[in-house]
Structure 1
Amino acid sequence: MDSPTDIAPDLVIDATGLACPMPLLKAKQGLNSLASGQILELRATDAGAERDIPAFCAISGHRLLQSEARDSVFSYWLQKR
């Protein structure tokens, strides 16, 4: 799998400081604005995102390319189906 620095997102959403369910809602909105195959990078500080984002991808068919936790910030790279 690519390292995060190798993935060039088409859209970056900073949802740091937002409580659940806002990071997930922001991700959904961002993905809705992208074309199929484009990549969204989501940054969140809410620990619920660790559970919500992978589950959302599994249900919706979007692809979770990479995830990373660094300094209490969770980053996710999602590819729109």
Structure 2
Amino acid sequence: MDSNLIVLTDQDGNSVRFELLDIVEYKEDEYAVLYPADGGDDEPVHILRIISENLDVNEAEFEGLDDDELIDTIYQIFRERNDLDD
């Protein structure tokens, strides 16, 4: 299995595969920037806050974000770090 692929469970109990594009640190929190592994080119990235990690068993817990300004800030940091043009 590709080490950049993670499987998350959605609110309906379905498993969804994502590619981990980056982990962005911002104001003492970490955010995962994810892209649907089975999505097309027009899929949006997803940004989730990492709320806990257990590296011994390779598990993490995430929470969604409701703050559009925070999402935009994290996305801009991601774009700058990865030299992505607009």
Q: Which has the higher helix share?
A: 1
Q: Which has the higher strand share?
A: 2
Larger gyration radius, structure 1 or structure 2: 2
Give TM-score, length-normalised by structure 1: 0.28
> Which structure carries more relative contact order (alpha carbon 8 Å, separation 6+)?
1
